[in-house]
Amino acid sequence: MDTVVVGVDGGGTRTRCVVVDTDGRVLGRAEAGGANPNSSPDPVGALAEALRGAVAQATAAEPGVADRVAAGVFGLAGAGGAGHADALARATAAWRAAGLAGAPEVVGDLVVNFAAGTPESEGLVLVAGTGAIAGRIADGAVVRRCDGYGWLVGDRGSGTWLGRMAVTAVLDALDGRGPTTALTRTVPAALLDELAHTAHEPGSAEAHALAQRLVRAVYGSPPAALAALSPVVDAAARAGDETARTIVAEAADHLVASVRALAPSPGEALVFAGGILTGPTLLAELVTAGFTAAEPAYAVSLAGPGELGAAMVALRRTGHASALARIHADLLPWSARS
């Protein structure tokens, strides 16, 4: 009987696993809790639970599936560089706990995102969600990257960056350094659950008090919480607010620059991943236009689910690269954008 592969996407809040055969059929799926060692109480347990669930479902459909598993690929955030050994140890422990033979492979989320957007073996991937990073992929490995340095010194164009710029713009407007903006009403509504029905006079006692409440809210929460403001910025920009439009345009410039730094060639695969770029956002439209409007245009596609991307990497590892285009079209038909 044909072999099968396992793909796992271990995120901070959810772990998802699929069992796929060489015909591209999904035989089993399962979910569990987060697998991030910094935020999950039991990352190995979550990985093992998702594995057992997917294999059990596949076995119910086709008995003996566990004995046919030829490869398993785990896409785990932070699995590159110094974090690889720890990520591999967690994946291996979960693999054994699920009763599977052999050993899994662990790759970073850039590799998984790229494989979830294209069947090509080489190309570029740009991720913009809470953070932001771009990478060049070759044969299932990251060979070059740009940004991804975190909220304090990097992640330009990310949701966290958008939120930080929005709060800064509101503070500037409140103390008189910046122009009036609709964000002065909508940012406090999002962060403080209070809506300013009338504009505060810049520099007034009321403006100062609101600024201090915003500052306390920002510093009292994890930096990544600022990413929740990205839809607020998007809405204001779409409504015509100049300050918000400037923030979004600058974010687009940063993201495009991250890809340009990787020396892209027109026509090579370029995958967009992360909620900001795969959702219906103005920022996604601007970044997409930066590449699809080029002459010649870039081949832009959107990343699908990470667990399917991990399964694509596993299929390539087992010598089924020639079938990836067909399987990719069957499993990820929505990924094309350009």
pLDDT tens for the chain, 338 residues: list them.
588 999 999 887 789 999 999 888 899 999 999 887 776 788 899 999 999 999 999 999 899 988 999 999 999 877 777 788 999 999 999 999 989 988 999 998 899 999 999 999 999 999 999 899 999 999 888 999 999 988 999 999 999 999 999 999 999 999 999 999 999 999 999 999 876 656 788 889 999 999 999 999 999 999 989 999 999 999 999 999 999 999 999 999 999 999 999 999 878 899 999 999 999 999 999 999 998 887 677 888 999 999 999 999 999 988 887 778 888 887 776 555 54
- pLDDT on residue 197: 59
Are the beta carbons of 195 and 188 closer than 8 angstroms?
yes
Q: What is the DSSP letter of 200?
A: P
Give every CB contact of residue 326 below 8 A, 6+ residues apart in sequence.
24
Q: How far apart are CA 205 and CA 193, in angstroms?
A: 20
Selection from 218, 187, 217, 216 nearest residue 200 by Cα: 187
DSSP bridge pairs for 42: none
Say if pTM beats, i.e. exceeds, 0.85. yes
Q: How far apart are CA 26 and CA 140, in angstroms?
A: 21
For residue 301, the SS3 value is strand
Q: How far apart are CA 54 and CA 307, in angstroms?
A: 11
Are the beta carbons of 58 and 68 closer than 8 angstroms?
no
First to last CA, the chain: 38
Give every CB contact of residue 258 below 8 A, 6+ residues apart in sequence.
126, 132, 133, 134, 146, 147, 156, 157
Cα-based distances in Å from 189 to 51, 182, 228, 251, 260: 41, 11, 12, 23, 36
Structural domains of the chain, ranges and CATH numbers in brackets:
4-117+304-331 (3.30.420.40), 122-302 (3.30.420.40)
Q: How far apart are CA 163 and CA 183, in angstroms?
A: 11
Burial of 280 (0-12, 13-18, 19+ CB in 10 A): exposed
Q: How far apart are CA 321 and CA 329, in angstroms?
A: 13
Q: Which amino acid, residue 44?
A: V
Residue that has been written with the tokens 């285009």 in this structure:
325
- pLDDT on residue 40: 76
Give every CB contact of residue 227 below 8 A, 6+ residues apart in sequence.
129, 130, 158, 159, 160, 162, 163
Are the beta carbons of 69 and 4 closer than 8 angstroms?
yes
